[in-house]
Amino acid sequence: LMSGVKNNVGRGINVALVNGKTGEPVDTKFFDMWGGDVAPFIEFLKSIQDGTIVLMGTYDDGATKLNEEARKLIADLGSTSITNLGFRDNWVFCGGKGIKTKSPFEQ
């Protein structure tokens, strides 16, 4: 889903969007939360359409640049663990835009 090559993820938070009705992949991106800027990640999160399944996973460090706004946007997708995500924590999550409850698919 991320890409066809070995070690197919980037440093930071890796995101895959899937159409919630058809199951078709919509987009994949990664955001470097160590050396990058959180602003493009926030804009990406805000642009996700209702009904989209959102899959996220960290590689290396996914928390250093996260701010309250980014954490809230992820929590709005159904995450309960994002508020506690720390430096180099491993985290995987499946939620959705417009979800009314918290996602049970998170570790």
* 65 pLDDT more than 80: yes
104 belongs to a structural domain: no
Residue 32 and residue 23: Cα distance in Å, rounded?
Answer: 27
Amino acid residing at 79: S
The answer to the question of residue 106 being in a domain is no
Number of domain units in the chain: 1
Domain that holds residue 33: 4-97
Cα-Cα-Cα-Cα torsion 92, 89, 11, 51, nearest 10 degrees, comes to 30
> Cα(54)–Cα(77) distance, rounded to whole angstroms?
8
103 lies in a domain?
Answer: no
pLDDT, the chain, mean: 92
Question: Tens digit of pLDDT for each residue in 85-101?
Answer: 999 999 999 999 998 88
